[in-house]
Chains A and B, each alone.
Chain A
Amino acid sequence: MLLNQFLLLSAVLFCIGVYGVLARKNGVLVLMSIELILNAVNINLVAFGALTDNVAGAVFALFTIAVAAAEVGIGLAIVLLIYRNRRSIDLSEIDLMKG
C-alpha cells in the first residue's frame, strides 16, 4: 500500500496549517489553518487504519470530524462577536492586555 504518500500529504498539510496559525493575522484564516491540521490528522488516521486493517482509525477520524465541527462553531461565534464589538477581526489589533 502507498502509505508514504499519504503520510507525506498529511505532513505537508500539517506544516501549512501550523504556518497559517502562526503567520496569519485574520481570525477566520487562522480558523481555516486549524482545520487544515485537523484534516492532516484525519488522513493519517484513515491511512494507518487501512494499512493495519483496524477500524479504530476510521472511528477516531469520525470523532475528530464531529468535534472539529463543534470547535469551529464556537470559534466563528467568538470571531463574529469580536467583529460586532470592534468592526475588525485583525488579531494583531487585539492587545488590550499585556505583560
Chain B
Amino acid sequence: MLAGIAPLFGATEFVRPAIDWHAAAPELTLLGFGALITMIDIGWLERARRIAAPLTSLALLVTLVPIITLALDGNDRSMFHGGFVVDDYSLIMKATFVLAGYVVVLMSTNYIAEGDYWENEYYGLLLSSILGMILMASARDLISIFVALELLSIPAYMLATWRKRDLKSNEAGLKYYLMGVFASAVMLYGMSLLYGASGSTLLVDINDAISVATTLDAVVVIGIIFVVVGFAFKVSAFPFHTWAPDTYEGSPTPVTAFISVASKAAGFVALLNLLFVGFLGRDDIFEPLMWALAAASMTAGNLMALRQTNIVRLLAYSGVAQAGYMLAPLAVAGTVPDKALTASVTYLVIYAAMNLGAFAVVIAVARKTRSAKISDYRGLFHYAPGLTVAMTIFLFSLAGIPPLGGWLAKFRVMEAVIEADTASGLVLGIFVAVNSVIALYYYARIGFGMWAEDAPDGDLTPVNVPLSLGVALTLTALITIAMGVVPGDVVGRFTEVSLLAGG
C-alpha cells in the first residue's frame, strides 16, 4: 500500500525522527497515569472509586516534575522539524494547565463523590483533556494543533453532559458539543486553505509562505479568518459566545470551572501559537479581526452580565468580557509583539487563578444553599466570613483592583495597547478602561450584598467546607494575591516572540 502511494508524493526513504524523551516527558507521564486510571477502573470497579481522586492528584503533581526539570534545564527544545517546541512560554502554560487541573480535581472530589456520579471515568476524561492542553502549549504545526484541540474538547463535551438524567446537563452538553464541533469544522476548513496556500503544515513555513503576497492572497485571507473564528468559539468571544452561559449553568460546577478556565486558556494558547508563529507576517489581516473581537467581547459581555441573577451565568458573561481583555493585546501584536505576548500570557495565568477561585466559592456556598442565585449570597459574611473574604478577593481581582493579580493583568494589557502608539490601539485602551468601570459595578454589587445585607432567610448555620475544597480556595487566593504584590513580575520576563518558533 505504501509502495503504491509513495511515487505519487515523491517520497524518499523513511528516516525515524529523533525523539527527545525529556521534552516529551510531561505528556508521556500524564498519558501513562491516564491509562493506569482507566485500567484500574476496568479491573477493580468499586474498590477503585476510593483511589481515583488521590491518584489523579498524584498524576498531576508528578507531571509537574518534568516540567520543572525542563524549566531548570533552560534549553529550548524542538522536535519534528519544529512541530513540537518546548520553551519557557510553553512550560509556563503547561504548568498553568496542570495546576488548574489539580485545583479542579480538588474541587471535584466531594462534589462528584456525593452526587452519585461515575467517578473513575470522570478523572480519566479530565486527565485526557489536560493532556490535550499541555500538548497544545507545544504544538507548532497545524496537525498537532488540531489533534490537541480535539483531545482537549472531546472529553470536555462528555464532562459537560455528566449528569445523565438531568435535562439541563443534557442541554449544556448538546449546546457545547454542537458549537464546538461546528467551530472546529470551520477552523479545519481554514487550515486546509492555509495548507494549500503554503504547501506545509508547519507554522514557521506557513509564515514564510504567506508573508509575501502571491496570487493565492484571497485564500490566505479566508484561511486566517476561518481559523481565528474557529478559536473565537473556543475562547467564547462575542458573537461566538452563545453556548457559554447555558453550558456553564447546566454542567456540574467543577466542570464549568474547568471549561471556563482551562479550556478557554487552551484556546488562547492555540491562538497565540498561530498568530505569533504562523501569521505574524500578515498582521494586516488579523489585527483588525482581533480588534473587533476584543472590543465587542468586552462591551457585550459586561452589558449582558449586568442583568444576570444567577452567579454562574454572571461569571459566564464576565468570562466573555475577560476574553475581550485577553484579546486586546493581540490587536496590536504586529506592532509590539513581545509586549502583546507578555500581556496575554500574564492575563491567562492570573485569570486561571482568580476564576477558579470564584467557582470554588460558588461550589462551597451551593453546598449549603443548593442554589446559584445571586440573592442567596446576601449576608454571607454573617455565617461564612472566610468564604466572603475569599470571594471578595476573587471578584475584586476580576474587576482589576490593585494590589490583586487582576490589576497587574489589566495593567499589562493597557501597557501593550498604549505602547503600540497607534490610533486603534489607543481607542482599544479606552474600551478597556470604560469596561473595567462597568464590570466593577456588578462585581461590587455582589460584594456589597455579602458584607452589608442580611441573610434572606435568617439561616445562620455555617457552610461546611471540605478539606480539599478549602485547599483549592487557599491555593487560588494565595496565587491571586501573590501575582499582584510580588515585585518582579513572575510571568512577564519569560516571554519573547522570537523564542516561540524554537529556532
Q: Which of B195-203, B327-335, B383-391, B441-449 lies on the face that meets chain A?
A: B195-203
Mask, B1-30, CB within 8 Å of A = 1, is 000010011110000000000000000000
- B406 proximal to A (CB < 8 A): no
Q: Which of B54-62, B153-161, B287-295, B318-326 lies on the face that meets chain A?
A: B153-161
A98 to B250 CA separation, bound complex (whole angstroms): 11
List, in ascending order, chain A residues with CB within 8 A of B196's CB: 44, 47-48, 51
- B136 proximal to A (CB < 8 A): no
When the two chains form their complex, are residues A81 and B192 in contact, meaning their CB atoms are under 8 A apart?
A: no
- A23 proximal to B (CB < 8 A): no
CB-nearest residue of chain A to B197: A48
- A67 proximal to B (CB < 8 A): yes
- B313 proximal to A (CB < 8 A): yes
**From residue 27 to 66 of chain A, which have CB atoms closer than 8 A to chain B?**
27, 30, 34, 37-38, 40-41, 44-45, 47-60, 63-64
CB-nearest residue of chain A to B175: A94
CB contact under 8 A between A97 and B171, given known A17-B185, A67-B147, A78-B177: yes
Q: Secondary structure of the B side of the interface?
A: helix
- B143 proximal to A (CB < 8 A): yes
A97 to B186 CA separation, bound complex (whole angstroms): 26
List, in ascending order, chain A residues with CB within 8 A of B184's CB: 71
When the two chains form their complex, are residues A78 and B171 in contact, meaning their CB atoms are under 8 A apart?
A: no
Mask, B173-192, CB within 8 Å of A = 1, is 11101100110111011011
When the two chains form their complex, are residues A53 and B189 in contact, meaning their CB atoms are under 8 A apart?
A: no
CB contact under 8 A between A52 and B174, given known A40-B189, A97-B249: no
When the two chains form their complex, are residues B174 and A38 in contact, meaning their CB atoms are under 8 A apart?
A: no
Q: Which of B109-117, B162-170, B431-439 lies on the face that meets chain A?
A: B162-170
Give the contact-size bracket for chain A.
35 or more
- B150 proximal to A (CB < 8 A): yes
CB-nearest residue of chain B to A40: B189
- What's the least CB distance linking A17 to chain B, in Å? 7
Give the contact-size bracket for chain B.
35 or more
Chain B CB within 10 A, most for which of A14, A41, A50: A41
When the two chains form their complex, are residues B167 and A70 in contact, meaning their CB atoms are under 8 A apart?
A: no
CB < 8 Å neighbour of B195 from A60, A85, A98: A60
CB < 8 Å neighbour of B182 from A10, A21, A53, A59: A21
- B308 proximal to A (CB < 8 A): yes
Chain A CB within 10 A, most for which of B147, B161, B164, B196: B196
When the two chains form their complex, are residues A82 and B174 in contact, meaning their CB atoms are under 8 A apart?
A: yes
- B494 proximal to A (CB < 8 A): no
CB < 8 Å neighbour of B188 from A41, A50, A85, A86: A41
CB < 8 Å neighbour of B199 from A21, A52, A64, A98: A52
CB contact under 8 A between A49 and B188, given known A56-B200, A78-B173, A79-B174: no
CB-nearest residue of chain B to A48: B196
When the two chains form their complex, are residues B143 and A74 in contact, meaning their CB atoms are under 8 A apart?
A: no
When the two chains form their complex, are residues A60 and B142 in contact, meaning their CB atoms are under 8 A apart?
A: yes
- B146 proximal to A (CB < 8 A): yes
When the two chains form their complex, are residues B170 and A78 in contact, meaning their CB atoms are under 8 A apart?
A: yes
CB < 8 Å neighbour of B189 from A41, A75, A99: A41
A93 to B161 CA separation, bound complex (whole angstroms): 18
- B246 proximal to A (CB < 8 A): yes
When the two chains form their complex, are residues B195 and A45 in contact, meaning their CB atoms are under 8 A apart?
A: yes
When the two chains form their complex, are residues B250 and A97 in contact, meaning their CB atoms are under 8 A apart?
A: yes
CB < 8 Å neighbour of B146 from A53, A63, A86: A63
CB < 8 Å neighbour of A56 from B164, B181, B193, B201: B201
CB-nearest residue of chain A to B155: A74
CB-nearest residue of chain A to B222: A11
CB-nearest residue of chain A to B196: A48
- B245 proximal to A (CB < 8 A): yes
- A96 proximal to B (CB < 8 A): yes
CB-nearest residue of chain A to B187: A41
Name A residues whose Cβ lies closer than 8 Å to a Cβ of B: 10, 14, 17-18, 21, 27, 30, 34, 37-38, 40-41, 44-45, 47-60, 63-64, 67, 70-71, 74-75, 78-79, 81-82, 85-86, 91, 94-99
Of the A-B pairs whose beta carbons lie under 8 Å apart in the complex, a sample of 21, sorted by A's number, is A10-B192, A17-B185, A34-B181, A37-B189, A40-B189, A41-B185, A48-B196, A55-B5, A55-B11, A58-B9, A60-B143, A70-B150, A71-B184, A75-B177, A78-B157, A79-B174, A85-B170, A94-B170, A96-B167, A96-B168, A96-B171
The 7 closest A-B pairs by CB, nearest first: A48-B196, A44-B192, A37-B185, A55-B9, A52-B199, A97-B246, A41-B188
